[in-house]
Amino acid sequence: MRSSSDARPPRSGSFNRILVFDLDDTLYLERDYVLSGLNAVGQWAAGALGINGLGEVMRGRFDAGCRTRIFDHSLKDMGLEAHPETIGRMLAAYRQHRPTIRLAPDTEQFLASRDDATGFAVITDGFLDAQRRKIRALGLYGRGIHLGICTDKWGRECWKPNPRAFEHVEQWFGRSGRDLTYVADNPSKDFNAPRLLGWNTVQIARPERIHVSVTTHVPADRIIESLEEL
């Protein structure tokens, strides 16, 4: 079934429980998306600006642990100026590239062995264009996800912890509270809304995740490292 947040809701009583997933570092490794994006920006810079080797320099910075201003610093590493306009075009190339990413093996296995009584949805923050391309690249609608919500389609103010997407999922499936579970990686924003609504919450802490939050604002009910434990 081809789905999106505009898809038709299921008949009431179709599902006993609803599993809702975050996307980045929950269903796949976000580092794969970053590496795919840096590679695309490197190719763009070679074609549009005649700069060769920028992709490798950016990747080197990322591998060394840099997480902010990789574009600026990598241009400077190469003795080039980081004009705001150049950075803007690099960002566009990054967000609009067609990502080479794949589901984590345990996600693949989990979705393949899903049961028909469970409804599946995704709630993800991030720039609309980029998140839609990720969902497409991962083929989520062909793997049993019934509903995908990119919160950015309602504007930045509706990103998590805003409850709008969670309330939408409840209405769409006709279920509430403990019938739903949210599985996500970031305790600084992911669990506020589902906990307020009385959902079950599970934090997935993949060892290879990009962001390791130092402060836990709203913890989940339980923590796992792989969907095999779900």
Which residues would be at the binding site for Mg ion (CB under 5 A)?
A: 22, 24-25, 185
CB of 65 to Mg ion, least distance (A): 19
Helix extents (H) in the chain: 30-48, 54-63, 70-77, 84-95, 105-112, 128-138, 164-173, 192-196
Separation of alpha carbons 5 and 21, rounded Å: 14
Closer by beta carbon to Mg ion, 74 or else 152: 152
Closer by beta carbon to Mg ion, 30 or else 170: 30
CB of 185 to Mg ion, least distance (A): 4
Closer by beta carbon to Mg ion, 106 or else 185: 185
CB of 23 to Mg ion, least distance (A): 6
CB of 186 to Mg ion, least distance (A): 5
Encoding tokens for residue 8? 């038709």
Query: Between 30-48 and 54-63, two packed helices, what is the crossing angle to 10 degrees?
Result: 160
Encoding tokens for residue 30? 């976000």
CB of 202 to Mg ion, least distance (A): 13
Q: Please list, in sequence order, all residues whose beta carbon lies within 8 angstroms of the beta carbon of residue 198, skipping any fewer than 6 positions away.
A: 176, 177, 178
Closer by beta carbon to Mg ion, 18 or else 23: 23
Closer by beta carbon to Mg ion, 21 or else 141: 21
Return the amino acid letter for 114: R
Whose CB is nearest to Mg ion? 24
Closer by beta carbon to Mg ion, 24 or else 152: 24
Separation of alpha carbons 194 and 79, rounded Å: 48
CB of 125 to Mg ion, least distance (A): 8
Measured CA distances, 52 to 34, 40, 44, 65 (Å): 19, 12, 10, 22
**3-class DSSP state of 17:** strand
Indicate the pairing of strand 200-204 with strand 222-224: parallel
Closer by beta carbon to Mg ion, 25 or else 152: 25
CB of 85 to Mg ion, least distance (A): 30
